[in-house]
Amino acid sequence: MLSRMLPMLMVICLGVVCLFAFFAVLGLFAPSDVLWLCALVAALALAVTAHSLWIRRHLGTHGNREMFRSVNVLRERRGF
C-alpha cells in the first residue's frame, strides 16, 4: 500500500517546497521569522531529492524492470 502512495506523497512534498519558495520570493513572510517552517521544508526537499536519487539508481544500475514498468504506467496515464 505504501509503495503505491509514495509517488503521490513525493509530488505533494515537492508542491509544498515550491509553494514555500514562491511565497518566500514574493515576500509574504521572512524565512528568519518562521525557522520551524524552513526546517520542515528543507527536510521535505531532502526527502524528495533522496527519493529521486534512489529511483534513478535503481532504474539505471539494476535494470529493475518492475520499477521501470511502473514509471512507464504513470507516464502512460498522464499521456506522455
Per-residue model confidence (pLDDT) at position 78: 63
d(CA 4, CA 2): 5
Domain that holds residue 14: 2-78
3-46 pLDDT, tens per residue? Answer: 678 888 888 988 999 999 999 999 998 888 899 999 999 999 99
Domains: count for the chain = 1
Per-residue model confidence (pLDDT) at position 43: 94
44-70 pLDDT, tens per residue? Answer: 999 989 988 887 777 666 666 777 677
Per-residue model confidence (pLDDT) at position 5: 83
